[in-house]
Structures are given as C-alpha cells and as structure tokens.
Amino acid sequence: VEHVAKTRGDGLGYDVLSFAADGEERFIEVKTTSFGKRTPFFLSSNEVEFARASADRFSLYRVFDFRAEPHLFELPGRIESHCLLDPHTFRASFPE
C-alpha cells in the first residue's frame, strides 16, 4: 500500500495505491468529512476522469463523522454510478 498523494503528488486522480489478493492494482480516492454520511463532497475533474478510465479497479472511500466516531463506506467504480455530479464543480451528492 502506498499513499501516492504524499509520495508522488496530488494530481494522479487517486490517493492510495493498494493491491487485491491476486496482486492487481487497486486505486483508492479518500474523501473525509466530520459531518454525516450523506454530506456532499468535492471532486476534481481529474479524479472523475480517472475513476471513469479505471472503473474496474477504482473505489472512492467516504469517511464520515471523522471527529466524533469515524465510519467508512466504499463507492466502487464510476462515481456517477453512485452520486449526482454537478459538472461545473463536480460537487457530488447522494440521490434521494
């Protein structure tokens, strides 16, 4: 596991390089909030495009209630499969 946002820079479209049990690379983007599970979050166009191009190996990990009692859930594949995206700012929110 490598925190590529620190070791290689913040422009790769993901934060963490991990590996599946079979050795296949996994790309993880982490979005954290101290608020609730459905709090909207922001994405760069690079993050959205990388998720599209690498959907079979990409997951967004959403960490919420970070300060009080952290929890995590995973959004695998294309981000727009799980969230509504505002194409101007790529603000992601959860559908009702």
Q: Where are the domains of the chain?
A: 4-93
Residue 69, SS3 per DSSP: coil
What are the C-alpha distances in Å from 43 to residues 1, 11, 29, 85?
A: 22, 12, 10, 9
Note whether 85 and 79 are within 8 A (CB). yes
Q: pLDDT tens across 32-81, in order? A: 999 999 999 999 999 999 999 999 999 999 999 999 999 999 999 999 99
pLDDT of residue 9: 86
Tokens, residue 74? 């995973």
pLDDT of residue 88: 65
